[in-house]
Structures are given as structure tokens and as C-alpha cells.
Amino acid sequence: MFQLPDQLTTQYREHFVAKGIKGELLEEYLKWLRFFLDFCEKYKIDGLDTDRLRRFIQKLKEKNQSEDQRRRAYHAVSLYFDMLTSDNSSEKSAEMTAEPGIQKPAVSVARKSFYSEVGYQERSDSPEWDAVLETMAGEIKVRHYSRKTLKTYANWSRKFQRFLANKSPQELTGDDVKLYLTHLAVTCKVASATQNQAFNSLLFFYRYGLKREFGELRDVPRAKKSLYVPVVLSRPEIDAILAQLSYPFDLVVKLLFGCGLRQFECLQLRVRDFNFDAGILTIHGKGKKDRTVPIPEAIRPELQAQIKAVGELHDRDLAAGYDGVFLDDAVEKKYPKAPKEFVHQWFFPQKNLTTVQETGQRRRWHLHESELQEALYPAVRKAKIPKRVTSHTFRHSFATHLLQANYDVRTIQKLLGHSSLKTTMIYTHCVPVRTIQEPKSPLDL
């Protein structure tokens, strides 16, 4: 469960009192705020504040919370948003001492957030640790690692900090890492992949945050990787799931299976990535590695219809004064007119628009991963598929079906965007390999 930082609790209490709300509701309001932040973290919910709040209230309704409880939860979270968008403490004091009836002019300020996705921005009780994590985050950004990598490394570093009870970073040794990894394996009973992820995160933390090495790595426990055989679906099973999905999730799944995409690769597709003349789709993959895959001819009409629908939506947004879509990192500064160009529009845009409070602009974001997960789970149950199906299962099925069709494993490796052939070879455990093994002279072919 998400724990509210002391600073957030204090500021929320002050804001609560300033609004003149009954004191007996404070504990309940703090509880709803804690549930909301935990909900956003668990389901990776981001985007417009009102959209996040709407999903949270819908989740409470599914949990059979009463109407009064949902109303108080709505008020508690709304109060939190109001607190985040308020001015700094000095401006608050001026507002409180202002004459009644005089409304203070709205000031565009940067939004303060106590819920940090990446973990390193939140201040802790140890300024030394905060400084080291800032250094580590800077090293990650210089190397242009993904935001998910930054989030993962920072979160493990924070967990390591809490485990050591804010022990001075300058006093850390390899024994501390060994003790922590042993704790994860013995006490927490984490999976081997989780333990190795923690090891890699702390290795980067030591090397680039503390600017020193572990020491003797042979004494640090490493979990043995287990052989994982992916779950794959047959074509009838995939068709049964598609029959239970509505638009646009059915088209998302068709692309996941038809092109072997990862979930984030599919949801972050843009209109410009489709080249129907050449019949190829450009994928901006993991580790900023681009690749191309064939566009499935079976869904070409659906893809073209989607682009047409997205174009109409884009025109309506611009006519309403909205400012197009989000672009990555500093691209918007380099190309200030680019956000309004249709080619940058998301192929699967989110229904709601996202507000950027620093500039007052409104931009459209892509469909969120949680929305696909929420649609996929009931569809699998209705299709009566007795397997654990996630969005990544369709990527596994893509590779397996190509193997069954006697495609060369190196061709599949290229289509999947794997750096190592060893990663692709895992799919040979899913089906019998029927490719011809005996070498022949080219003259005999």
C-alpha cells in the first residue's frame, strides 16, 4: 500500500483546515487519498487529473463502495488536486489575508507532485541519499535510457535505502548489497528475475551514483535464471478473444499478434509509422532501436479506416483550439510547429485531452496500457481460455506461429527486434521445429 510522505500529510492537513472542512473527516480523507495514489501506482494511471479521478471512482463502484463513500473519496482527491495547483506558501498567506470578495488572479505555475513515478525526485530524510540518486538519475538520462529504466533503478535504490535505515552512502560496502539480496531471496521470497533486477539496479547505483565498484562480485549472491516457456495461443483461441473485444482494443490485439509488437510499441504508434505503399510498419522499439515489419494485409482496411478516424479527430481538436499531441523529450522545443502536424498524431489516441499546467496547453496522449489490460481480462474469461493471457502473450504467439510455418529463426529474431538469437530460441520450446536441418548444395535446391 502506498504510504503518504510526512510532508504531503502535513500540507494536506493544512489545506484541509484552511478549507473549513469538518475535522472528523480528516482521517477518512487521508485514507481515500492513500487509496487513490496506490491505485495510480498499481495500474500505472497517468494523464488528465479528472480522468484519473473518474477511473478511481469507477473502481470504488466495482468494489461495491456506497454512494456516500464514493462522494467523500471524490471530494478528498479533488482537495488534493486543488492543493497541488495552489500557489507557494507566501502567495497562500497573501491570499488568506486578502479582503473578502476580492478574487486573486490566476497564476500559471508549475505543478508540484508528491506522487513521483521515478522515485528519485521525492525528498527523503537523508539529503545524502537524495544527492546520490540525483547523480545516478543524471547518468541514466545522459545515456538516454528509457523512463522505465530510470524508474526501476531509482525505486530499487530507495528500497535499499529504507532497508539500511538511511545508512550514510559513503559507508556502504558490498556486504550491504549481499545482505539485501539475501533478504530479498530468503525473507521476501522474490523471483529470480526480480532478484537479478535488484542486483543490476544496485550495480548501476554503486558504479555511477557512488562512483565506486561493489568490490568482489563473487561473494554477492546471484539468482539462477529459470527456463521460462512462454504461454502461446492457437489461432482459434485468438479469434475467440477478438470476438469478445470492442473497438479499438480488437485492433490493438490484431497488431500485437499480426506484427509481434510489445504493448508499449503498439500503443505508441503514430500515423507517420505506416507506409501502405511499401507495405511496412516502422516500430520504435526497446532501447530506441527501430525496425520494420510487414503490414498485415488482412487488416489493411481497418488500419486505413483508423487513420481516417484519427485525422478527423485531429481536425476537431485543432478547430477547438487544442495544441495537437505530445512529442518526446526536447522534440517540441526543436520543432515548435510539429505538435500540430497530423503525422505526429497517435494511432491509438486517448479519449480525453491532457492539460499541461505550465503552459496552459492541452495535448492528446495515447491510449493507456491499463485500459488495454482492463479490456483484455474480461474478454479472455468470456472466451473461456484456460490460460494466463496478457498483452505479451500475442507477441509470443506471433513468434510461435511463424516457427510453425517453417520461417527461419533469424528472420523471426529480426521481426521481434531481439538483439540476441538466444532470446528468440526460447520459442523453439513451444512447438516442434520442422525446419530442414540437413544441409544441401545450392545446386540441388
Active site residues: 262, 286, 392, 395, 418, 427
Q: Give residue 305's Cα distance to chain centre.
A: 28
Instruction: State the alpha helices, DSSP H only, in 85-146.
Output: 89-96, 127-142
DSSP string, 289-334: -EEEEEPPGGGHHHHHHHHHHHHHHHHHHHHTT---B--STTHHHH
User: Rounded to an integer, what distance in angstroms lies between the CA atom of residue 264 and that of residue 394?
Assistant: 13
Cis peptide before 301 (omega within 30 of 0): no
Name the β-bridge partners of 356: 361
Please say whether the beta carbons of 41 and 58 come within 8 A. no
Name the β-bridge partners of 159: none
| Cell representation of residue 194 | 526480480
Amino acid symbol at 50: T
Q: Which of 185, 203, 205 is nearest to 195 (CA)?
A: 185
Spell 124-134 as b/e; 16+ CB within 10 A means b.
bebeebbebbe
Give whole-number Cα distances, 71 to 28, 52, 271, in Å.
Answer: 12, 15, 40
Please say whether the beta carbons of 161 and 171 come within 8 A. no
| Cell representation of residue 386 | 484456460
